[in-house]
Each structure stands twice: as C-alpha cells, then as structure tokens.
Amino acid sequence: MATAAVQNTIKPRPAKKERSESSLKWWILVTVIIGTFLGRLDQTIVNLALPKIIDSFSISVSAAGWVGTAYILANAIFVPIWGKLGDTIGRKKVYVTGFVIFIIGSILAGLAWNLPSLIVFRIIQAIAGSADYPTAMAILAVTFPDPKERGQALGIWSSVFGASAVLGPLIGGPLIDNFGWRSVFLINLPVGIIGLFMALTFITESKLPERVRKFDWWGATTLGITLGALVLVLDKGADWGWFSVYSLISYLIVVVMGILFYFIEKYHSEPIVDLKFFSNPVFMNTLGNNFVVFMAMMGSIFLVPIFAQTFLGYTATQSGYLFIPMALGLMIAAPFGASLVGKVSAGTVIGSSTLVAAIGIGLFSFIDARSSAIDLMLPLFIMAAGMGFGMAQRTSAIAGAVPASEIGVASSVLALARNIAGAFGIALFGTLLNWAIQRNVLHINSMSEVYVKTPQIMAEYTGLIILKAQIDAYALIYELAAGLLLIGALLAFFIRVPDVQMSEEDRAMAEV
C-alpha cells in the first residue's frame, strides 16, 4: 500500500518533464528562426543601401556590385563546409560560432572606411551566415524526431526565407533614410546578441558518433572552387558577355574542378557531399522541384520593382510596399501547409502548391504601363501563398529522405540548390529580357508605318515602340517563369516520401 501510494505521488512528474521538453522544442524553433531571419534580412537590406554606399565611397555602380557578389560567392562556397562540420564536430558549436562571427562581421561592415574593407567584412558576414541554414535545419530535424511535428517546425522555419525577403525593403528603407547605410549592419548587434543568448540557452548539442574523424578538405576545396566560378559567372556573365574570355575561363574551371570533385567524393570515406543522395528518387525529385521553383521565383520576382519604378513611376519605398501581400501570403499559407504533413502526401501538396505559384506568376504577364498596385499585389499574394503552402513538405521531404546523421549535409545541398537556382534564374531572365526587348523592337518596327516623319513624331514613334517592346518582353519572361513552375509541379508528383518514424539508429547517431 505504501509503495503504491509513493508510486501514485510520482506519476505526474514524467508528464511535467514531457511538457517541459515539448516547450523547449518550440523555444529552439524560435531561436533558429531569429538566426535565419537575421541572416536573410541582412542580405536583402544591403541591396537597398547600395546607392548610399556608392555616394559615400564615390564609387561606380559596377564596383558596388561586388558588395553583393562577394557575399553570394562566400556564402555558396562555405554552406557545404559548415554543414559537414556541424554533423562532425557538433551542430550547436557550429551554429554559435557562425552567430558570433556574423555579429563581429556586421560591426566591422558598419565601420568600413572604403569599398575594399566593406567587401572583406561582407565576406566575413557571408562565411558566418552560411553556417545558419544547414545547422539550423539539422538542429530542427533532431529536435523534432516525429515526422508530423518536424514538418510543422520546418515549414514555419522555411517561411522565414520568404518573409525576410519581403520585410527587408520595409525595414531597410526607414533605417537607411533616418540613420544612414551603416545602420543596416549595426542593427545586427542588438538582435544578434538576443539570438546568441537564446542559442546558448536552449539549443542542445548533437553530432555524429566519434568514429567520424576525417574531414574532406580536398572535396571542400574543389567544391568551393567549382561553386565560386559558377556563381561568379552567373552573377557577372551579363556584364562580361556570356562568351567573353572571363566567362569561358569560368566555364572551364567549373567543368575541370567539378570532375575532380566527383572523383574525390566517389572514393572518400567521409565525403563532404554523399553522392548516394543523388540516387535517392525522393531527394532528387524534391531537389529538382526546389531548383525549378526558386529559379522561376527569383528570376521573375526581382523584375517586379524594376517594372514598378520604370513604367509605373514608383519610388523604391513604394515598390517595397508592393511586397506586403507576398509576406502575408507566405505567413498564412506556410503554417497551413505544415499542418498537412503526414496527412496528405508530399507529392500532392508540393505539386498543388507549385501549380498555385505558377498561376500567380502567370498573372504578371497581363501587366502593362496602366497597371495599378493591385495588379501587382494580387499575383504576388497568390504566388507566395502557393510557395508557402508547400514549404514544409519540401523541407520535410529532404530531411526524411536521408539518415539523421547526414541531415546537415543534405540541407546544405538544398541550400546550394536554392542559391544557385536563384542566381541562375536572375541571370537567365535578365539576359532573356534584354534579348526579348531587342527582338520586339525590330518586330514591332517592321510591322509599323509612319506617314508624317517630323522630328517630334519620330521621337514619339521611337518611344512608343521601345515601350511596347519592353512591356511585351516582361510578359514573355513571366510566361516562361510560369511554364517552369508547371514543370516543377510535374516533378513534384513523382515525390513519394515513406511515412516512417526516425529510426532508433538515426536518433542515436544524431545525439551526443
């Protein structure tokens, strides 16, 4: 009787412990959201500050472009390195290290005295910021072993990417106007300290077993050179010329270093990127959908503010306001999509979400010089809702397609695919836009006739032809982007994620 009484008195304690652990999970989610949001917001805001930086340092627009290019290059190179290091030496250790370096880099960037110093400090920021994505995703995957909860957590976390891209102009504009361009870097200090404190408090360490001792330095080096050359030519190819000497050298480096990387990874016992991923149909189909979706989205959306300012007379701040519905669409759809993880098949949700995004992008093909703000906001909202609806399933499918011990590396591959897809989309659509404008000018001119050729009439005639050619070119770009998304939707329907729990072996490998 006494024993039974004692047992009865201690029964509620495990439930309290479970509630505490459950609460800790969601605090960890909030923690990584702050880190991810800060890194992505910084990348977005800095682009707004470039005009002020140009004036402050008395530099050219092309020179200022290296502020963004250097960041993109360093970020792409170090993402897989951090992902592997996180799995090897500890994800919390890598996450906190990246956070500290990012804060230091932000302070230094805010104190930069010329362009070279700013570029160096931006590289430091990029190296540190690239630690966030693979380690954050791996931390969440280990923290939420249940597939349904993990899908919800990853979905909420993934929505931060879109939200930061949208909120960047809204936050950055007032900061720059009232406190100068240095404020976009220095604001990272107080927010970063909060995020760092939460990381130290809530995140628990996880890594691979001690048997993993080798780091693939040769693979990391060849992959870094390959990615550096690829991202560089995607970013600068339009300025250099796609068949210029610089571009051809970049192509050669990509091919040679890419082949070397393949053979190094094929025979290394602990490769920085496990090539077995690419024989996994779930991983490849999800990765393919992500690549196509991000290429279409980034390649077409970056033209929206350009169109608004060029043809509708909007200011930069007004152009930023256009993206508010996009943020709302993401924030509304992402949690709803996350709630469907484990209830509706990943292929169905991802395919449907991509179709909705394609409809949103396709609506942009109807805009012209008489379009209202609603004509731009509505497609952005629909596109973002489609994107957000499938985010949880996309990220969860990648996490569920590989062992827990390799989630960091898998997530770094996903981050690479998204970054390269975005860079490729911007380069491709920018080039296609220029080509389409030139083609349209010649076509419209050949189909037109002027009966009275006074200087004033000819000037108006030329202006109207160029305007019509540009408007039609934008419509073509959005039609192509919508077509790409339809292809992405078709890829999605081949995704079949097994409905299984994380194995005990994987859990053991993911814990200290």
Domains of the chain, residue spans: 20-214, 216-269, 276-512
- Given this model, what pLDDT does residue 511 score? 43
CATH topology of domain 20-214: Growth Hormone; Chain: A; (1.20.1250)
For the stretch 63-74, pLDDT in tens is 777 777 778 777
Q: What angle do CA 159, 164, 168 make, to 5 degrees?
A: 160
- Given this model, what pLDDT does residue 265 score? 82
Assess contact for 387 and 63: CB atoms under 8 A. Answer: no
Residue 275 CA to residue 280 CA, distance in Å, equals: 10
Q: Which residues fall within 8 angstroms of residue 286, CB to CB, at 6 or more apart? A: 346, 350, 394, 397, 398, 401, 495
Residue 218 CA to residue 408 CA, distance in Å, equals: 19
Q: If pLDDT is split at 50, 70 and 90, which confidence band does 162 have?
A: low
Q: Which residues fall within 8 angstroms of residue 230, CB to CB, at 6 or more apart? A: 76, 250, 254, 420
Residue 304 CA to residue 316 CA, distance in Å, equals: 11
Residue 233 CA to residue 236 CA, distance in Å, equals: 5
Same fold flag, 20-214 and 276-512: yes
Q: If pLDDT is split at 50, 70 and 90, which confidence band does 356 have?
A: very high
Q: Is the pLDDT of residue 505 over 50?
A: no
Residue 66 three-state SS: helix
Q: If pLDDT is split at 50, 70 and 90, which confidence band does 208 have?
A: low
Q: How many beta carbons lie within 10 A of that of residue 462, not counting itself?
A: 13
Beta bridge partners of 341: 344
Q: Is the pLDDT of residue 196 over 90?
A: no
Q: Is the pLDDT of residue 18 over 70?
A: no
Q: If pLDDT is split at 50, 70 and 90, which confidence band does 507 have?
A: very low
- Given this model, what pLDDT does residue 3 score? 45
- What is the overall mean pLDDT for the chain? 78
Instruction: Output the pTM of the full model.
Output: 0.71
For the stretch 312-324, pLDDT in tens is 888 766 777 887 8
Count Cβ neighbours within 10 Å for each residue of 225-253 and write b for 16 or more, e otherwise: bbbbbbbbbbbbbbebeeeeeebeebbeb
Helix axes 12-57, 115-129, angle to 10 degrees: 160
CATH 1.20.1250.20 fits 276-512, yes or no: yes
Q: If pLDDT is split at 50, 70 and 90, which confidence band does 328 have?
A: confident
For the stretch 273-299, pLDDT in tens is 777 777 788 788 888 888 888 888 777
Average pLDDT over residues 114-129: 88
Write out the two tokens for 269.
Answer: 């016992």
- Given this model, what pLDDT does residue 268 score? 78
- Given this model, what pLDDT does residue 465 score? 79
Which residue's entry shows tokens 């400090």?
121
For the stretch 359-410, pLDDT in tens is 999 998 888 888 888 998 999 899 888 887 887 777 777 777 777 666 667 7
Average pLDDT over residues 103-111: 91
Q: Is the pLDDT of residue 414 over 60?
A: yes
Q: Which of 306, 429, 308, 331 is nearest to 377 (CA)?
A: 308
